[in-house]
């Protein structure tokens, strides 16, 4: 067997061939240094396999392959309708292998298998959605004078570097690949260090679907080496990144040297405002899902929960009871599991540290804040879902993104007060409101400084709707028709109709 492939036996009985190399020009290659990164199963703390880690030299090879494909006849000649057919075929093939892909993500990321299945369903749905857009890129004719004909066309940006996170590995790749390919770009994806396996397996599906060499290239590696090289490469025309705000700022600085087009989807500390006229059972359900779903590892988590003083005690008790009932901790492959492990030991320790910070700063932990007692076989990076009350705006747990199943509850009195508190943050990715007053819902939504607002819900995003934030939560939008704007650019053409000078 090739040293670029390994047979993997998953805990649910699935056996498959896992690529471990760099995917460049539709071929698997080892890294130039030979160095590897271990991929750890966070539920067992055991190594699944190791993958080759790209160097700057490898990133350069991937970029050059993407550039050659972008400028070559084989991809340029694939018009929108044909690109759409390729993407629809790809979507069908992903759906046919949904079971294997979900298995890989559950094992590599730690999320429950049932949730991973839902993630992969979104992946093939996103490719179908953008496959339908591939031949619907329209320009305009613009009347100027009778002496010329003026029009605009939409064109691909070129070579796109895309850096994806570990919380939704293949999902975030689809969000970026879908519109990029629909618009005719070529791509280099840098996989997350913690979760490279599903996107590598996906690469072989791309080849089988018929995508030409160099159109999509996938490299593993550390952000400080492979990621930095990709962002700074002069032949990369655009960079799209999902991850932390701190890293997003570094990418902006690096990309500025060559004035690249950028799309950034970064951090958040999103508020959920629950008024005293809200239907409390519904508010509890969405408050729980908004911060405890996907082990709390979601950028739009509504982790600052503002509750009106009239219902505060009732809500806290209800959320505690609901969490204890719903939040079953266990192996990702157990059907009853709601919460799997955090993605890594470092992430687990970060969440536990915030529990100590909350105690030190005077907040009250009503549940959680420690390693879960229900760890299967006493192993894995499991933490208890944590609910913290009596939180004040000066506290770190109020201000900082924790990225775990960690809810902080704040009491408020008036609408004006809670709007001010909700907006008093550097972030602006999302926000949510629970109320039975539809006028209030719209009024408050209009005043919250966030890119996305949910009313009587939380975190029920949809791939047909634009996704993105304001302030330090990012630049640009992904998904929906707006996602196409991030991967295309307008060209204006002025045709002179008066070829001879009038005398």
What confidence tens digit (pLDDT) does each residue in 73-82 have?
A: 999 999 999 9
Q: Spell out the SS3 assignment of 363-412.
A: CEEEECCCECCCCHHHCCCCECCEEEECCCCCCHHHHCCCCCCEEEEEEE
Q: How confident is the model at residue 501 (pLDDT cuts 50, 70, 90)?
A: low
Beta strands in 42-175 (DSSP E): 46-52, 141-142, 148-156, 159-163
Q: Is 265 a catalytic residue?
A: yes
List the strands of the sheet with 186-190, edge to edge: 27-29, 22-24, 216-219, 186-190, 159-163, 238-242, 261-265, 474-475
Assigned CATH topology for domain 5-266+476-490: Aldehyde Dehydrogenase; Chain A, domain 1 (3.40.605)
The CATH code of the domain at 271-461 is 3.40.309.10
Catalytic residue, chosen from 265, 384, 401, 478, is: 265
Domain ranges for the chain:
5-266+476-490, 271-461
Give the chain's count of helices (H) and strands (E).
Answer: 16, 22
With vertex at residue 250, the alpha carbon angle to CA 247 and CA 254, rounded to the nearest 5 degrees, is 140
Q: Which helix (H) or strand (E) holds 56?
A: helix 56-71
By CB neighbour count within 10 A (0-12 exposed, 13-18 middle, 19+ buried), where does 154 fall? middle
The 10 Å CB-count burial string (b at 16+, else e) for 78-116 is bebeebbbbbbbbbebbbebbebbbbbbbbbbbbbbbbb
Neighbours of 193 (CB within 10 A): 20
241 neighbors 163 (Cβ within 8 angstroms): yes
pLDDT in tens, 362-416: 999 999 999 998 888 889 999 999 999 999 999 999 999 999 999 999 999 999 9
pLDDT in tens, 46-72: 999 999 999 999 999 999 999 999 999
Q: How confident is the model at residue 1 (pLDDT cuts 50, 70, 90)?
A: very low
């Amino acid at each position: 067997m090739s040293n670029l492939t390994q047979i993997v036996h998953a805990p649910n009985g699935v056996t498959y061939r896992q690529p471990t190399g760099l995917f460049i020009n539709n071929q698997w290659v080892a890294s130039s240094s030979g160095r590897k990164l271990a991929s750890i199963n966070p539920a067992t703390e055991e190594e699944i396999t190791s993958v080759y880690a790209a160097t700057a030299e490898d990133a350069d090879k991937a970029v050059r392959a993407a550039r050659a494909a972008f400028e070559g006849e084989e991809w340029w000649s694939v018009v929108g309708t044909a690109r759409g057919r390729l993407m629809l075929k790809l979507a069908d093939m992903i759906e046919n292998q949904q079971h294997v892909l979900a298995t890989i993500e559950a094992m590599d990321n730690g999320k429950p298998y049932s949730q991973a299945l839902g993630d992969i369903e979104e992946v093939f749905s996103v490719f179908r959605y953008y496959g339908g857009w591939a031949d619907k890129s329209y320009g305009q004719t613009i009347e100027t004078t009778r002496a010329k004909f003026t029009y605009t066309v939409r064109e691909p940006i070129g070579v796109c570097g895309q850096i994806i996170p570990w919380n939704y590995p293949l999902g975030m790749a689809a969000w970026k690949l879908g519109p990029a390919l629909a618009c005719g770009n070529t791509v280099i994806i840098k996989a997350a260090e913690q979760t490279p396996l599903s996107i590598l397996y996906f690469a072989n599906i791309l080849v089988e679907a018929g995508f030409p060499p160099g159109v999509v290239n996938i490299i593993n590696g550390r952000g400080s080496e492979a990621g930095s090289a990709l962002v700074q490469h002069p032949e990369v025309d655009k960079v799209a990144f999902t991850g932390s705000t701190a890293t997003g700022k570094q990418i902006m600085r690096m990309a500025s040297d060559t004035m690249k087009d950028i799309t950034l989807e970064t951090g958040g500390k999103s508020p959920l405002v629950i008024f005293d006229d809200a239907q409390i059972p519904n508010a509890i359900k969405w408050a729980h899902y908004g911060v405890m779903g996907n082990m709390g590892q979601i950028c739009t988590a509504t982790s600052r929960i503002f509750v009106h003083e009239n219902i505060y005690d009732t809500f806290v008790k209800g959320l505690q009871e609901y969490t204890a009932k719903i939040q079953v901790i266990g192996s990702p492959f157990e059907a009853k599991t709601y919460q799997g492990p955090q993605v890594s030991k470092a992430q687990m320790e970060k969440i536990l540290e915030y529990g100590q910070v909350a105690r030190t700063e005077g907040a009250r932990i009503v549940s959680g804040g420690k390693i879960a007692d229900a760890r299967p076989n006493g192993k894995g990076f499991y933490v208890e879902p944590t609910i913290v009350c009596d939180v004040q705006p000066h506290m770190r747990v109020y201000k900082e993104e924790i990225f775990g199943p960690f809810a902080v509850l704040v009491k408020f009195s008036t609408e004006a007060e809670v709007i001010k508190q909700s907006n008093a943050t550097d972030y602006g990715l999302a926000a949510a409101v629970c109320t039975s007053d539809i006028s209030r819902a719209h009024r408050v939504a209009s005043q919250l400084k966030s890119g996305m607002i949910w009313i009587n819900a939380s975190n029920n995003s949809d791939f047909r709707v634009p996704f993105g934030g304001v302030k330090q939560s990012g630049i640009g939008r992904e998904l929906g028709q707006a996602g196409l704007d991030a991967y295309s650019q307008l060209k204006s053409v002025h045709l002179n109709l008066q070829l001879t000078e009038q005398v």
